[in-house]
């Protein structure tokens, strides 16, 4: 039932900002529920890194004490709420002193960042000792890992650009110039595991979002079968 509801929201998410916000909020409720038992958000200071329209921030703010909602492009229609603080800045150059956050939430951002190592290092820097981070993204080699270019991205960048233009009127000269201020970069489970291992974070768990079958832990084949991977990290 939940998967069907997710499918319906996903189909109409690009029709309006309101629809996309509902799509984010639905996913956020599910993600937060699945974090229970690992991360306790009550009375915590949380960073929503790459907050988009604010759906995740709104749901996190139901539990957390303060949510800092950060994005390079904060929407004019961003929801106003007392315990949500919107910040417009680059995710790889965070304007915070060290270790202010109990929990850092970063969903579907890292694949749009060229310097992914810098993003993970910044997440580590601003997380309190024993604090947690949630990092998720669609692996590039999965059929849905190409965002607006899917599944043509599996045939290479040039083919994906041409087919997406002709069949879907998708704009963009290259993957790197396909998201305005951000790009779109090949991001694999293996690569992010390697970057995390150099960061100082411990990997508490690797999961497949909203799936009873955890393909994300399967070497090599998991890159193709996992529609969205979740990393639960802790700083020691």
pLDDT at 91: 94
pLDDT tens digits, 173-212: 889 988 766 789 999 999 999 999 999 999 999 999 999 9
**Is the separation of the CB atoms in 223 and 139 below 8 Å?**
yes
Residue carrying structure tokens 């994300």: 216
Number of C-beta neighbours around residue 200 at 10 A: 14
Domain 2-146+184-235 falls under CATH 3.40.50.150: yes
Q: pTM of the full predicted structure? A: 0.94
Cα distance between residue 216 and residue 192, in whole Å: 12
Rg (CA), the chain: 17
CA 221 to chain centroid, in Å, comes to 22
Q: What is the mean pLDDT of residues 214-229?
A: 97
């Amino acid at each position: 039932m939940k998967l069907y509801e997710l499918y319906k929201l996903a189909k109409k998410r690009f029709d309006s900002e309101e629809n996309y916000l509902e799509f984010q909020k639905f996913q956020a409720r599910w993600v937060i529920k699945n974090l229970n038992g690992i991360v306790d958000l009550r009375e915590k200071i949380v960073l929503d890194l790459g907050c988009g329209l604010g759906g995740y921030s709104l749901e996190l703010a139901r539990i957390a004490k303060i949510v800092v909602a950060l994005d390079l492009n904060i929407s004019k229609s961003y929801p106003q709420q007392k315990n949500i603080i919107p910040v417009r800045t680059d995710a790889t150059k965070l304007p915070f002193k060290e270790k202010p956050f109990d929990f850092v939430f970063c969903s579907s951002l890292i694949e749009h960042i060229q310097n992914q190592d810098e993003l993970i290092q910044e997440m580590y820097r601003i997380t309190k000792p024993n604090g947690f981070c949630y990092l998720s993204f669609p692996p590039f080699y999965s059929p849905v890992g190409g965002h607006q270019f899917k599944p043509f991205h599996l045939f290479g960048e040039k083919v994906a650009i041409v087919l997406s233009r002709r069949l879907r009127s998708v704009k963009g000269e290259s993957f790197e110039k396909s998201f305005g201020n951000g790009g779109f970069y090949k991001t694999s489970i293996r690569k992010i595991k390697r970057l995390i291992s150099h960061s100082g974070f411990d990997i508490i768990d690797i999961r497949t979002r909203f799936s009873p079958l955890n393909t994300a832990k399967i070497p090599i084949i998991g890159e193709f079968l996992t529609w969205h991977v979740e990393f639960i990290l802790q700083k020691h």
